[in-house]
Amino acid sequence: MKKEDCFFLGKIVKKYSFKGELLIKLDTDEPELFEDMDSVFIDLRNNLVPFFIESSQLHKSELLRIKFEDVDSEADADALLKSDLYLPLSFLPELEGNKFYFHEIIGFTVEDNNFGKVGIIKSINDSTAQALFEIDRDGIEILIPMNDEFISKVDKPNKTIFVETPEGLIDLYLED
């Protein structure tokens, strides 16, 4: 399994017991979707290694308490601390309407109701307070906040996102 065929599920943040149990900080708004998994991939030295789950349950709502098969001691658990967890993209639930996963809109065209064709989404910057579409317009980078008020329609079959940005926002990037 390759990382590009997977999505980031979360990170092992600490040990829970001396029997090898671990706490996972999940990167999701719906942790309950991932409470009954059979296995996950753990990134160990840039290799995704499958680990089978003996038991798991939500712990204080945002953490998942997990017991892996063959991880039976504190030393075993220590070896996995701070590791990232991944699942295959096929495990993601289908999203309806204007909802989307960041990875699925890379390459989509962005059209603004007032401006016209803006460019192609090359990535999503979610390291800021508000996630941004990073759009390539013939070598010029344009950033548009991923704000529900700006996104008027997501047309997945035609790989197009229609936005209505405040007047002048796109022009800021195009002025010399």
Assign domain 3-91 to its CATH architecture.
Answer: Beta Barrel (2.40)
CA 123, 126, 129 angle in degrees (round to 5)?
145
pLDDT at 130 exceeding the cut of 80: yes
> For residue 79, how many C-alpha atoms fall within 13 Å in the half-sphere facing its CB?
11
pLDDT in tens, 146-173: 998 999 999 999 999 999 999 999 999 9
Domain ranges in the chain are: 3-91, 102-174
**Model confidence at 132: pLDDT above 90:** yes
pTM of the full structure: 0.71
For 20-73, write each residue's pLDDT tens digit.
999 999 988 788 888 889 999 999 999 999 999 999 999 877 799 999 999 999
CATH fold group of domain 102-174: SH3 type barrels. (2.30.30)
At 137 the three-state DSSP class reads strand
